[in-house]
Amino acid sequence: MVEAPQTEEGWFALHDFRSIDWDAWRDAPERERERAIEEGKRFLRHREQVADADEGDSGLFSVLGHKADLLFVHFRPSLDDLSSIERRFEDTALAGFTERTTSYVSVTEVSGYVSDAYFEEGPEEVDAGLRRYIEGKLTPEIPDDEYVCFYPMSKRRGEEYNWYDLDFEDRADLMAGHGEVGKEYAGKIKQVIASSVGFEGHEWGVTLFGSDPTDIKDIVYEMRFDPASSRYGEFGEFYIGRRFPPADLGAYLAGETVPADEGSAEDAHAGRAHGEGGHHGDGDDGHGYGGGHDRAGAGGGSAHGDHPHGDEDAGSEGDHPHGDEAADDGGDGVADEDIRGELADLDIYAGKPHGEDVYATVLYSEADVDELFDEVEGLRGNFDHYGTHVKTAVYEGRHTDRAAVVSIWDTASAAETAAGFLSELPDVVARAGEESGFGTMGMFYTVKPDYREEFGDTFDDIGEILAEMDGHVETDLMANVEDENDMFIASQWEAKEDAMTFFGSDEFRETVEWGREVLADRPRHVFLA
């Protein structure tokens, strides 16, 4: 029997080719397209951040021609990891607009053709340079902003030329000559060769990366003349594409050039790609409103509570915050940092207790509070799947007959998307910021239990002052129905200048000083999305 070379396997690979149902995409309502873009971006970004495994890599590519539109490439330590990725994508709204045209499963591999010593004496005995080369083959990284070519191949098993009838030495000589051709493209082409023997109809999947697509053409063409290919190579379909970042998904679907110029994609699509909110989330069916739940402990803490990133449970999506989402003004086009700067000039704490900016959507409802809570709890269960979600809660008014539904997110765009779903809650009558020229910020306070009643009385005194101030529309102290010590002050003003006048008043300063004694944590002033 002819000797088979030894092999060592590394990461498993999935090449997932998708076509877009462009007719369905064009016919879909704008809101559905926005949701698909954002859920697709989130899924792809978390795959590139390898939020689902200890190690690996992923990349998104546009594909030219009729065979596919998109290619997702994933390298992971196990087939189970890849299986989970497949199922998680199907739970996104983007998946509904795609059809898988083909896929390819393989595992990265090095064989005895590379080095006898590596297999016979062990990795620690070979040259350090060779060891790094082999490790790079087993655990490959996907280059940024590169063209990609993928094709499957097999070694011929014909009557005249049968690769598997050759002696090991003959095969090794042919592979060495084949490698010499490849060396001429060092620095131009990076290749990942993964075995699919027993996995697919072909025996290997070859992925070539290069910054110049003509280099890809040239290396494939030149190797066709090498005997290892000309006599013994059999090839499947070739696919050519270009890598682009998940942030450019909206630009791609809009027919724009990707990768977009730095920063342009997010800016151009801020209006159509609103953050992370929505019904679907990895690991959840995306549906199901709550009913009759016990409020005790529900929702995980007060609305001003700890920032969630960096301490997620094992079932999360990795939950990495966005740094450059769109739209962060305070309700009338005023930039957040401008407002924070003015507060600082007044020597007023600007409300970032844990060093973060967060944004809130506030909707007012005249529905029964218990009924409203049950509806919100169902939505909140879905929001919790998204890494940008901080808190969603129901607050009952002190002086008004309506309740407030507050949803806090890491980005303004995510809060904006959540507002679309929350607006379908029963008996919603208004959204904070729409009733007046300046919605200011939502002011959240967690009060020490012994001071709760005193805090309410003090608010009533402040309310009398507010009622006499120019530009004041309405201010109410609202309590979280799950935690009566968690307070939300909803304040509406005609203009930013009117609110700033109050913030600079002696009465407000005295209240702030007093608040340091009665609050369990520093207040959070949240900009209304």
Active site residues: 151
Query: Where is 170: in which H helix or E strand?
Result: helix 168-183
Q: Is 7 helix (H, G, I), strand (E, B) or coil?
A: strand
Residues 522 and 514 sit within 8 Å (Cβ to Cβ): no
Distance CA 388, CA 383 (A): 9
Q: What are the CB-based long-range contacts (under 8 Å, 24+) for 26-35?
A: 28/97, 30/272, 31/420, 32/93, 33/253, 33/272, 34/272, 34/273, 34/274, 34/417, 35/93, 35/278, 35/280, 35/417
Asked if residue 123 has a cis previous peptide bond (ω within 30° of 0), the answer is no
Residue with tokens 């490849």: 182
Q: Is 93 helix (H, G, I), strand (E, B) or coil?
A: coil
Q: Which amino acid is at 232?
A: Y
Strands 524-528 and 359-365: parallel
The DSSP code sequence of 238-268 is -EEEEE--GGGHHHHHTT--SSPSTTHHHHH
What is the distance of C-alpha 225 from the center of its chain?
Answer: 45
Q: Which residues, other chains included, contact 84 with Cβ-Cβ below 8 Å and sequence gap of 6+?
A: 52
The DSSP code sequence of 174-205 is HHHHHHHHHHTTTTTEEEEEEE-TTTSSSSEE
